[in-house]
Amino acid sequence: MATLPKGPAKTGIEQGIAARIRECRAVRGLSQRQIAEIIGVSYRQMHKYERGLNRIPAGSLYEIARLLDMPIDYFYHGLAMKARRSNTPDRLTLLETTRHFSAIKNEKHLEAFSQLVRALAGR
């Protein structure tokens, strides 16, 4: 019979779940502190969950999924089939930029932003 690992989590599944939580939280503009307060854990514990350092209890994952308005299977889907690409700082920046961009209502500001990005990208 296989034994379960003891101590901190660092498996691909925990890392994948953590990355998806981080991604959803960033897209919704929530802080780790906000989620921690709502689900009843410390900021430090939430930080460990999002880094894949500690396993997330089923009840806490359920609350996080409910808070982020995601089905719980979203956090598991495809993790066993392939290694989940971790969220790089560039990818998180892209997600946050997209969220902020979609909040801009002024069409002139949207066009100016688009031109700025094109200029910075050298296109």
DSSP codes joined into one string, the chain: -PPPPPSS--SHHHHHHHHHHHHHHHHHT--HHHHHHHHT--HHHHHHHHHTSSPPPHHHHHHHHHHTT--GGGGTTTTTTSPPPPPPHHHHHHHHHHHHHHH---HHHHHHHHHHHHHHHT-
Look at residue 87 in the predicted model and tell me its pLDDT. 52
Chain centroid offset of residue 41 CA: 17
* In contact, 56 and 64? CB cutoff 8 Å: yes
pTM over 0.85, yes/no: no
User: Over its length of 123 residues, how does the chain's per-residue pLDDT go in tens digits?
Assistant: 444 444 555 677 888 899 999 999 988 889 999 999 999 999 999 999 999 899 999 999 999 999 999 999 888 887 765 444 545 567 777 777 888 888 889 989 988 888 888 888 887
Domain boundaries, the chain: 1-86, 88-123
CATH architecture of 1-86: Orthogonal Bundle (1.10)
Look at residue 118 in the predicted model and tell me its pLDDT. 85
Look at residue 83 in the predicted model and tell me its pLDDT. 45
Look at residue 9 in the predicted model and tell me its pLDDT. 57
Distance CA 52, CA 19 (A): 8
As given in the structure block, the two tokens for residue 15 are: 């890392």
Look at residue 102 in the predicted model and tell me its pLDDT. 82
Report long-range pairs for 58-62 (Cβ below 8 Å, ≥24 apart): 61/17
